[in-house]
Amino acid sequence: MSKNTHTDVLLAGAFAAFSVDLLVYPLDTLKTRFQSQDYQKIYIDASKNAINRRLLFSGLYQGVGSIILITIPSSGAFFTTYEAVKSGFNKINPTRNGSSSPLFPQPLVHSAASSIAELVSCFILTPAEVLKQNAQMIRKPSTKSSSKSSTVFRSSATIQTLKRFKNPSKLWTGYTALAARNLPFTAMQFPMFEHMKESIKQYRKDKGIFTGSLIETSITTAVSAGSAGSIAAIITTPIDVVKTRIMLSAASEKETTENIQNVKDQPPEKQAQMRGSSKKSGLVVGRDIFKDQGMKGLFRGGTLRAAWTALGSGLYLGVYETGRVWLGDRHESTDGNDL
């Protein structure tokens, strides 16, 4: 890490986020639709008792604009924070008495660093995540006359969604749920990722086939990140389902003058009840899902989430690590030429 500047880390993280978002976004859209509380009503043809594939697979890039614009700075912030905190923890990590090994093991350091970085990233990412998931659920006009404008409709999905939010603070609805999903995810993924990456590197060194090339770094990182990401994704799917439900409900909560007045006209206890009914906690949402659909409902979209996370994490961290190493090597090369 010593040969990388903060700008290197920021650029590598931003480029990785941009590349992966464009590639795996359609899979993320499908996952959101599978996890939606309206999945049966919207995407199942009741007359045929079958999935309406035309509707399910249409507009798969709806809302991609918002997530790209925000994911770049949020990812840059994550990796900058992660590398800085990890480096700081390693510097102050005391050694055991009579031993050269650190008091706190590296997996714990990686978990703590990734958790702190995730809290920073989630705060930046939440508004875009809310807009994205609600835009992913917008259906294109069903009339034949509207077919010419379908492209415009899809590209304006984010704008349509944004218009629903009269109160900007609602764009942060689901921050707690997003953090609750991402914290255990990253706390599990990064220690596994770092361990797998170092194990593969050590194995290749022991076999005498380690080269340290960019291609080798890319493949090792991608395989390690993809494997770790898919495992963490499956485990955290129930939290992801709850997060999706909470964020999709944010745009459905209408704040018209009439509705606000209706609440104000009620007794204090009734006001609290009416306000609370539209703002369910994550535990209540999860309990309702389990009550209606059982464990199957809590793990809805889990296989798809694991698949796109394996692909996304592999590419994401692979591109990031490759970019970081390449930028660092460039600095070393430049410094060497200056001497």
Inside any domain, residue 232: yes
pLDDT of residue 96: 64
Number of domains in the chain: 1
Buried b vs exposed e over 178-204: b needs ≥16 C-beta within 10 Å?
bbbbbbbbbbbbbbbbbebbeebbeee
Tell me the one-letter amino acid at 86: K
Q: According to the model, what pLDDT value does residue 69 have?
A: 82
With 0-12 / 13-18 / 19 or more C-beta atoms within 10 angstroms meaning exposed / middle / buried, residue 293 is middle
- 192 domain-assigned: yes
Residue 49: inside a domain: yes
Q: Tell me what pLDDT residue 290 has.
A: 96
Residue 63, by phi and psi: left (phi above 0), alpha (psi -120 to 50) or beta? left
Residue 59 has which token pair? Answer: 């507009």
Range of the domain at 94: 6-338
User: ∠ CA 132-134-138 to the nearest 5 degrees?
Assistant: 110
Determine if residue 173 is left, alpha or beta; phi over 0 gives left, psi from -120 to 50 gives alpha, anything else beta. beta
CA dist 95 and 102 (Å) reads 4
Cα of 247 vs its chain's centroid, Å:
13
Q: What is the dihedral of CA 20, 197, 237, 306, to 10 degrees?
A: 60
Q: HSE, CB side, 13 Å, CA atoms: give it for residue 198.
A: 8
| CA atoms of 251 and 130, how far apart (whole Å) | 8
Structure tokens at 107: 């997996």
The predicted structure's pLDDT at residue 332: 62
Number of C-beta neighbours around residue 157 at 10 A: 25
Domain-located, residue 182: yes
Length of the chain: 339
3-state DSSP helix/strand/coil % of the chain, to nearest 5:
80, 0, 20
Could you tell me if residue 294 is inside a domain?
Answer: yes
The one-character DSSP state at 50 is E
Say how far apart CA 103 and CA 124 lie, in whole Å: 33
Question: How many CB atoms are closer than 10 A to CB 267?
Answer: 8
Single pTM value for the model: 0.74
HEC-encoded secondary structure of 69-116: HHHHHHHHHHHHHHHHHHHHHHHHCCECCCCCCECCCHHHHHHHHHHH
CATH number of residue 50's parent domain: 1.50.40.10
Structure confidence at residue 43 (pLDDT): 92
Tens place of pLDDT for every residue, the chain, 339 residues?
446 666 766 677 677 777 787 888 899 999 999 999 999 899 998 888 899 999 999 989 988 888 778 877 887 888 889 989 998 988 887 776 666 677 788 888 888 898 899 999 999 999 989 989 998 888 765 444 444 444 434 557 777 787 777 778 888 888 998 999 989 998 899 889 999 999 999 999 999 999 988 889 889 999 999 999 999 999 999 999 999 999 998 776 554 444 444 545 556 554 454 444 456 788 999 999 999 999 999 999 999 999 989 998 888 888 777 777 777 766 666 555 554
Confirm whether 316 is domain-assigned.
Answer: yes
**How far is Cα 129 from Cα 250, in angstroms, rounded to an integer?**
11
315 part of a folded domain: yes
| Contact predicate 238/297, CB 8 Å | no
Residue 1 in domain: no
